[in-house]
Structure formats: C-alpha cells, structure tokens
Structure 1
C-alpha cells in the first residue's frame, strides 16, 4: 500500500502536548495519521540560511520532518508573498494586497527548497498530499525534480473569481502550478466553481464536464471536499470540560448572565471590528439586554510582524475600551477581550455554556469554530450559532442565523433574536445543525480526498 506523505507550511511538534502548532489542520488530520505516515514542512524557526537537511522526529509511528527558513526567505515567502499577496487576495481584500516580484521569486525559491529537501525522503510509490496557499508551486517543483507519484493539493482558504484573481500579476503562473497536481480540492462548491471559471478564463486550459481541467495534455481533477471535525470527540471533551473548576469560575463571573462567545486568530479576515460594533449596537438599540449578556472575544495574536495585523490590534484595543466605557457598570463589563491562546479543552467548555456563538468572518474557507460550537452544545438547552454567510461553513450550516458581517446592525438584530429565541426553536435549529456537523467529519474529509487521489 502506498505511503501517505503530508506536506504543510507548519508541522505539529509531537514532543509538545496537544501538538497544536499546525492549528486546525493538525486537529483535522490527527485521527487519520497511520503508522508509517511522513509529515513534512517548516519547523517554525528562522535561521541565517534555509536548511537543506530535514530534522527528523518520530511520534506514534509517524515521521515528522522539518526544515528551518532563512531570514530573507521567511520575509519574502511567508511575510511577503504568502501573507501580503495571496492571503488578502484570496480573502477578497485587494486593497490590502502588496505584491513585488522579489517576494514572488522568494515564494518560488522556498517551494523549490521544500521540494529539494523532501525528495530524498520520498519513495517512488508514495502519495503526496500538499496543503494550503503557502505551497501552491510545490507539486510542480516535485515534478521538475523527477517525482512521478500521485500528488494532491488542498486549499483551506477561499478561492476567488477571475475578476479578482487577475489582479495578481503571476495569476497565470499559479494556475499552471495547480495543474501540476493530480487532484486539487476546495472547501465548498463555490470555491470550486470559481477555480473552474478561472481555468476557463485563462487561455491554455480546458474544463471538461466532469470537473477535470486539462492543460498541455495533463488532466487535473477538481473536487469540493469540506473539512470537518471529530464531532463526537469534541462533544465528549466539551461535556467533561463543563464540569471543571475553570468553567465553574467563568459561570460564577457571569452571575447568571448569558454568554456570547467568539474565538479565532486575530486576523483582518475575521470581521472583528464589525463584530465589536454589532455588539455595541445590540446594547444601544436593544437596551433590555444591557446587564443581561456578556461577550467574550478570544483573538489569539497572529503574524505580529505584518503591519496590517499590528494596526488591527490597535483598532480592537480602542473599540473594546470605547464599548466598555460607554456601557459598563461597576459590577458589569460587557465585553471581555483576550489575546492569549486558550487551550482547546477549555474552549470546548466555554462553547458548552455559551448562549450565542458569534462566527462572523468577512470571508473564510470553512471555519471549524462554527462546527465546534455546535458539537459542544447541550441538545436539551442549546445555544444559537450566528454565522457569516461568507464563511464556507454556511453552505452546510444553513439553520444557523446567517448574517452579512459587513452590516453591524444585522449582527445586532441576530444577537437580539438569539437572546429572545424560545427553547423549542433553539432545539430545532440545533438538531439540524448537529446532523450536518456529525455527518461531515474530519475522517470523511480525509477519506474523500485520499480516495479521489488514489483513483
């Protein structure tokens, strides 16, 4: 049987408890990792030069291989093209996109370095599964280096229509690179359709009815494969966590008030300023909820060496102070704002006791927090999910209250509806959402993609 080789920008450290350094991807793939699997990527360390000999660590039968990035490569590849060009572009934020040819050259060079370091570790019959926007050219680099096995690519963030993609000068180069794979996967049917439209728009590509893109005689299958969570496992963790001292302290601090919770990385794609303003408008337009609800925003600091993220943090600090200054009393702080990382087990318990889950990104590939919130709820007395219609999860979770995240009044109206929603309606909505979350799991996501890649 062919060995599975996973490649991602970041790799979980098997020596660290929780192995959360690769974020949601590590959680999604954890139950799928069979003994013998190889996981390759960046160590997270910046050194004087990009390393060529991977560091090898074994954990539970899985081999983890990582290389360090040189300081200049880190700036060009990670801070530059990946997160200053591709990330804003693929989240429809053209006004934030910064592009230079030097950054794109650095992006290509790091992908070539990944291929050169990975190739000696590969066996001829390996199946390689590459993840996310950092590594779009990696398949082509492996092909150029002589690897002839099956290679698949999955994009975890949104894709964009041709009118947006063509704003990026090397757009055609990226499409060519995606066509070096045997299978390319997307979170939703919308993202898949946008990719196919881009392939049609750019000359040299042909799209067949069965969603196969052909370029220079090479056939690439494109699929939609929404990522999920281990819903049963997360539900068990949430149930246990709800009885811990930590969660009891949170309950006590609420003094009977409803809890509205949001949790994500501090990122401009998440719509945090709009969400803060939506909460402020709830308190102003629906004063009956003052002193009856507290909002907890967990926004773990991220990419602090990128200017846009520094500016966002300053804006959120200002907004949080303004909201609490306007509405708080001596015994009530309406908005609790944290930028520390909260362990997943504690998050599960917080989701369990929350009356509202606020998941309102301006654009998101999927958003697993929405699914975790649903899995964590008590079916007998569930909370209400308020979800951006521009999150990939909205295609599956249509029984949430869907909002336009650009409209703070829409968020305020949704929060008012959630706080006033009768138990029977909450139970009906949650039952439908729970079915969706428990059907599209992380195991199903892995099975669908690997079966397509093996076909």
Structure 2
C-alpha cells in the first residue's frame, strides 16, 4: 500500500499520548496515515523574523511523520491573512464587496506555496499518494509538477467554489485554474460546486468535460467530483449520550429550568449569518409574546482570524447586536440571548446540542457546515430536536429532514423557529429518522476512503498525467 502524504495549512499535532485532537477530520486523516504510514505537513503556526530562513521541524509519532514549516511575519501577512483570507475566502463565499486584492499578497501566496513544495519534495517517495487540503494551497501541485514529481496528487476544497462571473473578477483567476488543473482528483462538497467549476473551465475555453467526472485542461486529464465531508457520527452520538454526566452540561440544564433551548454554534465569520440569525430570533420573540421567558437562544461563537480587520469589526458588531436585543426584550428573571465568545469543548458541545430543542444553522454561504451534522447526531432518538438549516449550506443537499430557510429572509427564519418549537413529537422523530441513518453510513471515514479510492482509481485508469504548466504571474 502506498504511503499517504497530507498537506494542510495547519497540522493538528497529537497530544503526548499520541491521540489526535478532537474533531472528525483530524481523527479520519490520522487513521488513514496510521494505516498506510506517511507524512502530514503544514504551517507550524509560528511566525519568525523575516530575516530568518523558514525551517522545517520534523516530529515522529508512530507511523506518521509530522513536518511543520515556520513562516515569516511577512509570509503570514501576505499568504494567510492577505490573499487566502482577504481574497480567496470572501470570493469563494460570493462576497466581492470584501475582497481586497493586492499584488504583494498574491505574490506572497504563491511564494509560500513554493516554499511548501521545496520543503515537501525531498520527503516524497516515488509511489507516495499526496492529498492537499483547501484554498490556502491551490498552487501546490503545480509547484510540485514543475519540480518533476509525477505522484498522484489530490485536492479537496472545504469551502464553496464560486461561479465564473465571481471567480473571473480575480485578476489571477487563470493562474488559480491552472493550479487546480495540475491535480489528478479535485474534490468538492456539492454538485453545485462541481457545476460552477465546470462553468469556469468552459466559459473561456480553458478546458472541456470528457464525461464520467473527467475533465481536460492545459493538457492534463483529471477528475472533479463530489465528496461531501462528514463527521465521526457514531463517536459524536456516543459523546452526546455520555454528556449528561458532565458538570457544565448539568449546570446549563439546571439554569435553563423549563425553558426551551435554541442553539447556534459558529466560528466568528461574516459567512455564517450570525447577525441575521440574531435579528430573526428577535423577530420571533417580538412577534410571539407567549414565548417571552420560555425560550433561550445560546449562540457560541469562538473568535476567528483576529489579525484580519473585517473579523475584528464583526466581533464588535455581533456583541453589540446581542447586547441591544437583550437590553430591549429581557426581563428581570430572563435573558433571551446567551452569547459565548470562546471555544467550548467537544463533549460539552455535544451535550448542549442534545438538550437543544432547535439547532439554528443559517450560514449565508457554506461549503458543508458540520455543525448541522453534529446537531443531528447528538439528538435523542426518542425525543429529537429540529434542525433549521440554510439552503445555502452544503449540508442542505444531504439533510432532507431539516427545515430549510433563506437566511436573508428574517421573517421566514423567525417563522421556522416558531414551527420548530411547536412541532409534534412524531413529526420530529420522522424528520430525524430521515437524516440519522444517512449520517451513520456516510461518516468521515467513508469520506476519507472514497476520496483516496478515487485518487487510486484515477492513477490506474486515467490518461497519463502530464505536468501542467504554471502561469508566472506569481
């Protein structure tokens, strides 16, 4: 069996006992690496003075070699905070108003990808299978091809892929497309993302569709297909069941009394629709006076990318909005919104999901959104809650038992909250039973295996891989 080499922007190192950090993706990838042996490479999270040469820190844990790259402060500013998160992230989430393209950031993005390639290439064996993750590292395969590597290289995009009219606003869109065409298999979250990608190839005659998921562009044949990511469903369901013994979960349950709980869990990001959601909850409370004092909305929102100005602004906006709503509709013995601006441990989170009557997952745009799947997995089969889900989340393509909403329509989300809270038990059970078997079958391990199988199959049956050229705009 070929070794597996995983490259991601950040690497979740195991703890001293060798256990992977909590989280389905880390567990699944570590399991695949343990089975096959291999390398996991990425940024160490450390920034060093620009005058110092970025080093490579190698750590061995069992059959896995962790290769951590230090980046200079300039690299972090341009590659990560700049082009990746102020250009590609908003662009892929259809927020052209927030893209701030700067040529120096673009140059830094390609420079760091080249740095990763130069550190990675000496570690690669001829039959290694390489799996690159997410928008930070789109050009990596092209850099490796230029260095002569002919290994099978796959890429998985965890976020949405935009349509041609959005992508083509990016001055270096062709360089990005050329980078993607250097991979053997490209994985997207939904069929809509694949359609958008195909449209980008066709619009300017960049490439053509060959059928059966195969495309040709820049002289290279590759596969682009749907591989919806998931969670470790069984383990998360077990964590939720065990959470009733957790002291923090017990305190939360006691503090709620007989009130119904609505829960939202999101990283602090403008794509998550948090302000729209708070406004929808306010609309629900205001227009349903009988609910006042009988329902609590818990919004958990850990801080994110504080070095990016838009995220600092959003943190202030969300806090002020939650405070305004609480000030307007609170009672002496009731605060409608509990806003928590820090991370909550996985086991506690599973317990909070389990006690919540409604899961409110309403991003404005999302590649998948695993919170929706976690909420469903955490529910009690005999008395499940109701998932309210944005139709613009990738999870909406799979979770057919959710109440789908347009997150921009405040009144519609408000009405969905009212419907969810009043839904009879049998209807809630029926909806949950539509979703849970699917999640148990299509868990994160299956996602991992299906992608790697596709990459192996393409290497055996696809046309010979030719190194795709690279635009020198970088």
TM-score bucket of the superposed structures, by smaller chain: over 0.9
Which residue number corresponds to residue 69 of structure 1?
A: 71
Counterpart for residue 34 of structure 2:
34
Alignment partner, residue 407 of structure 1: 409
Paired with 2:265 and 2:393, the residues of 1 have a C-alpha distance of: 15
Aligned pairs for 1:307-326 (under 5 A) are: 307-326=309-328
1:403 Cα deviation from its structure 2 partner = 0.5
Match of 2:180 among 178, 181, 186: 178
Which residue in 2 is equivalent to 1:136?
138
Other-structure match for 1:15: 15
1:260 aligns with 2:262: yes
Secondary structure in 1 matching 2:401: coil
**Gap regions ≥5 residues in structure 2:** 458-474
2:350 corresponds to: 348
191-200 vs 239-248, which moves further: 239-248
How far did 1:31 drift? 3.7
2:281 match: 279
The 3 A distance-change label for structure 1 pair 267 and 318 is same
State how far apart, in whole Å, the 2-side matches of 1:333 and 1:183 are. Answer: 50
CA shift for structure 1 position 52: 4.5
Verify the 8 A CA contact 1:136 1:174 in the aligned structure 2.
Answer: yes
Residues 1:16 and 1:309: Cα distance change in structure 2 (over 3 Å): farther
Q: Distance in 1 between matches of 2:210 and 2:193?
A: 17
Change (3 A) 1:250 1:60: farther
Q: Which SS does the other structure have where 1:206 is aligned?
A: strand
Contact 2:24 2:232 survives alignment (8 Å): no
Instruction: Encode CA deviations 1:294-336: one digit per residue, 9 max, x unaligned.
Output: 0110100000011111111111111111111111111111100
Which residue of structure 2 lines up, in the alignment, with residue 397 of structure 1? 399
What's the CA shift for 1:344? 0.7
Contact 1:153 1:184 in 2 (8 A): yes
Which structure 2 residues correspond to residues 197-212 of structure 1 after superposition, within 5 A?
A: 197-212=199-214
* Comparing 47-56 and 377-386, the one that deviates more: 47-56
Q: Which residue of 1 aligns with 2:468?
A: none
Q: Distance in 2 between matches of 1:16 and 1:309?
A: 33
Tell me the equivalent position of 2:421: 419
- The residue aligned with 1:56 is 58
Query: Contact 2:54–2:72 at 8 Å: present in 1 too?
Result: no
Contact 1:261/1:354 (8 A) holds in 2: yes
Choose from 337, 361, 368 the match for 2:339. Answer: 337
Deviations 1:98-125 (A, max 9, x none): 1011111110000000000111111111
Q: Which residue of 1 aligns with 2:305?
A: 303
Q: How does 1:145-294 map to 2 (within 5 A)?
A: 145-294=147-296
Q: 2:116 aligns with which of 114, 117, 123?
A: 114
Give the 3 Å change call, closer, same or farther, for CA 399–367 of structure 1 in structure 2.
same
Shift of 1:223: 0.9
Q: What is the deviation of 1:28?
A: 4.5
Range with bigger deviation, 201-210 or 136-145: 201-210
Q: Match for residue 106 of structure 2?
A: 104
Count of aligned positions: 454
What is the deviation of 1:209? Answer: 1.9
Contact kept? 2:54, 2:71, Cα under 8 Å: no
Q: Relative contact order (C-alpha < 8 Å, sep 6+): which is higher?
A: 2
Q: For 1:60 and 1:418, how far apart are their aligned partners in 2?
A: 47
| Contact 1:51 1:67 (8 Å CA) reproduced | no
- Taking the aligned partners of 1:191 and 1:253, their CA distance within structure 2 comes to 43
- 1:431 corresponds in structure 2 to 433
Structure 1 pair 195–280 and aligned structure 2 pair: CA distance change class (3 A): same
CA distance in structure 1 between the aligned counterparts of 2:217 and 2:437, rounded to whole angstroms: 40
Distance in 1 separating the partners of 2:208 and 2:257 = 62
Q: Deviations over 1:146-196 (max 9, x none)?
A: 211100000000001111111111111100000000000100111111101
**Gaps (5+ residues) in structure 1?**
none
Using the TM superposition, give the Cα deviation of residue 439 of structure 1 relative to its aligned residue in structure 2, in angstroms: 2.0
Q: 1:19, CA displacement in angstroms?
A: 4.7
